[in-house]
Structure formats: C-alpha cells, structure tokens
C-alpha cells in the first residue's frame, strides 16, 4: 500500500556518506565533531551517527536529555540564558556548559563546576561573513548571542575551561578562516591556558566543493598554537542531502499563472522557506520558465503566503502527482507545526538496501494534545 503523503524520508546511504566525511575530518584535524540536535534530532538513527561522531550539542533541557539518553558520548549545551528551575536537572544530563555572558557564568558557573562539569563562554567576534541569512547571523548589530570584547570580564577567566563562538550559516572554510582571524585578534590571548575551543556550527563540510584541506589547516593551527581540544558542532553537514519530503498535488488552478496546491505546507512543514527565505530543491524541476510547464507551488493552509515557490517541470502537473523535495532532513522535522490543524508528515527510514520503513506517523491526537 502506498505511503500516505506528505512524509519525510531519511536515506541511510546518504547519511553514512556524510558521516564518513566528518569522521575523516575529525581524524585528519585531530578534532571532535558533535551533532547539533537543533538541526536534526531523529533519535532512532542516533545509534548509527554515534559510530562516527563524539556526541551531541543541545540548546536547552529537552535536547540535552535526548542526547544524553539516546546518543551518549559527550553532551554539550548552550543557552542564551539558563532557567534556574531547570538547571539542576540539566546538570544530570550535560557534560559541558557554554554560557552566553559573564553574568551567566557568575550565576551558574559555580554550580556546574561543583558538579564536575566543564564550562565555557560564548564570544562574539563581531565579524559577520554572511549574506542573505540575517535571521541566522549571530554577529549582526545588537545580537544577543555571545559576549563582545567590550563586555568581556577578565575576572571570570579562572572559572573557564573553554571558549566558544558560532558565527556561520551554510558556509565554507573560507568564512571560518576570516572569523578565526578576527577571533584571534580579539580573544586569542585568552585561549592560552584553556582546555578547549568550540568553533560552533554552520560549517557545510559535506557540501560538494567544501575546502576540507583548509578546514584541517585551521583546526590544526588552533590546536597547535593554543594547545586546546577543538570541537565542531555542525547540524546541516550531518544530514545534508540525506532527506526528502514527498508530497502530492491536491489541485491545479490558474490565476495569472498555473498554481498547484500540495499537501505539504511551507508554513507547517518547511518554515525556513518563509523565515530565511529558502528555496528547497525539487527533484526533476527547474527554475521558473526553465522547463516547459511552470507552476507556483502552494500549501493547503489558509495563510495567503503559504507559497513554496515557482518551479518548472517537463510535464504538466496533475492531481495525485508526487512532488519530491530534496535536502529535507535538516531544520524541517525539528520545525514542523500543526498550524491550521495541518497533520505532521510521517517519518520514513530508507536503509542501505533501499527498503523503506515507517518510523513514526502522526494524527489528530498530536494536534489536540498541544492545546487544551
């Protein structure tokens, strides 16, 4: 029986391909690579990922618990501000705590140190290398993420085991090189005597054309210059191009142009389309007017702006046709929502033999229990 659309598919062969690259980088550079769960937290595949990576990173209590219970290895956590009523429980899951400000270090650092945890401070080198991703730029003016040099407090240095920065989004090693230079100019003197340096995420290591040799040189330089353990915490690179979202055409209409209504929604199932904005790839499609038949693809919600984009196809679309979106493992399943009462897509695992297995499906109760 055909699978009911929409559903996500995560492909084992593609996932392992990425993981082999990351493992090679880890071994060549002598660094540790962690899974950033904010991008991908399909814990049923953690047993595979932990064969290659050293642990997980979390943005708070629930992700830390998930990583601790289902992944193992090292569990790292960063939060812009920790909740006092959650911190004691968080201490039972996380090994490494990164704080966002000197004030947070002074407030929670002694508790973490007393529990035998490693602690660090997130820094803002005020070096933006992004274009078009303002919503994901931690170095934008007025950013709340990381401590700038002007706000650095040297009095907390004796408490710190490490330093952290995260400034990239879907970028190459060239952007990291620029950032590291700015970081060393501002904060390099504080690295001497630290145990570790975390370079954050946003590294598109598994993308075709990524300069892995440059990344290895950067990490090696930092390790040898400052005698620190270096961490990378990519999320996207782990599952880049390893997932798909399979949808179906519900209706075809015309209003100045041809429009296809899908059972997949930008607002509910791939919100980065509206937030960034982001144009997801579609199998066997082209840009608008590149192929013979162009359609504006929209979702089934009542939101006027629930539009995925304009795409062209070799053949006209008909009701019941499948439209398959690529690169749908990252920042999709973790962001889905039930706005408008939309159902959540099922999750399917495609193993190395090509066999597809339904991992989880969702229904009315998943919508109802979020409310009261």
- Binding-site residue numbers for substrate are 236, 272
CA-closest candidate to residue 36, choices 89, 5, 75: 75
Residues that constitute the known binding site: 236, 272
Q: Which residues contact 356 (CB under 8 A, 6 or more apart)?
A: 3, 9, 348, 349, 350
The counts of H helices and E strands in the chain are 11, 16
User: Which residues, listed in sequence order, are joined to residue 246 by a DSSP beta bridge?
Assistant: 7, 324
| CA 277/CA 176 separation, integer angstroms | 23
| CA 74/CA 96 separation, integer angstroms | 8
64, 41 Cβ separation under 8 angstroms: no
Q: Residues in the chain, how many?
A: 372
261 to 244, 254, 282, 295, 326: CA distances (angstroms)? 18, 11, 15, 10, 18
Query: Max CA-CA distance within the chain?
Result: 67
By DSSP bridging, strand 118-122 and strand 32-36 are unpaired
The C-alpha angle with vertex 75 and arms to 215 and 200, in degrees rounded to 5, equals 30
């Amino acid at each position: 029986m055909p699978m009911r659309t929409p559903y996500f598919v995560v492909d084992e062969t593609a996932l392992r391909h990425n993981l082999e690259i990351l493992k090679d980088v880890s071994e060549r550079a002598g660094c540790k690579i962690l899974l950033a769960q904010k991008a991908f937290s399909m814990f049923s595949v953690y047993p595979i990922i932990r064969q290659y990576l050293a642990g997980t990173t979390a943005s708070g209590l629930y992700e830390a618990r998930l990583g601790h219970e289902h992944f193992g290895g090292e569990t790292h956590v960063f939060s812009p501000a920790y909740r006092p009523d959650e911190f004691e429980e968080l201490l039972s899951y996380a090994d490494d705590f990164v704080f966002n400000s000197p004030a947070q270090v002074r407030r929670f650092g002694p508790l973490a140190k007393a529990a035998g945890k490693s602690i660090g401070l997130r820094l803002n080198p005020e070096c933006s290398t992004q274009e078009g991703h303002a919503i994901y730029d931690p170095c934008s003016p007025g950013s709340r993420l990381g401590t700038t040099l002007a706000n650095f407090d040297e009095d907390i240095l004796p408490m710190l085991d490490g330093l952290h920065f995260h400034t990239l989004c879907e970028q190459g090693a060239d952007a990291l090189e620029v950032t590291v230079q700015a970081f060393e100019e501002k904060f390099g003197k504080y690295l001497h005597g630290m145990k570790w340096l975390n370079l954050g995420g946003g590294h598109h290591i598994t993308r075709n054309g990524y300069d892995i040799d440059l990344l290895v040189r950067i990490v090696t330089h930092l390790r040898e210059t400052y005698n620190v353990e270096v961490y990378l915490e990519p999320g996207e690179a782990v599952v880049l191009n390893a997932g798909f979202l399979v949808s179906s055409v519900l209706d075809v209409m015309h209003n100045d142009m041809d429009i296809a209504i899908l059972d997949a929604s930008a607002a509910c199932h791939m919100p980065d389309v509206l937030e960034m904005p982001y144009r997801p790839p579609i199998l066997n499609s082209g840009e608008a007017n590149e192929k013979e038949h162009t359609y504006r693809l929209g979702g089934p919600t009542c939101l006027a702006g629930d539009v995925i984009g304009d795409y062209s196809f070799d053949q006209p679309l008909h009701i019941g046709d499948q439209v398959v979106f690529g690169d749908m493992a990252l920042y999709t399943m973790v962001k889905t929502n039930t706005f408008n009462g939309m159902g959540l897509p099922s999750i399917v695992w495609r193993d190395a033999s090509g066999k597809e297995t339904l991992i989880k499906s969702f229904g009315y109760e998943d919508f109802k229990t979020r409310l009261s």
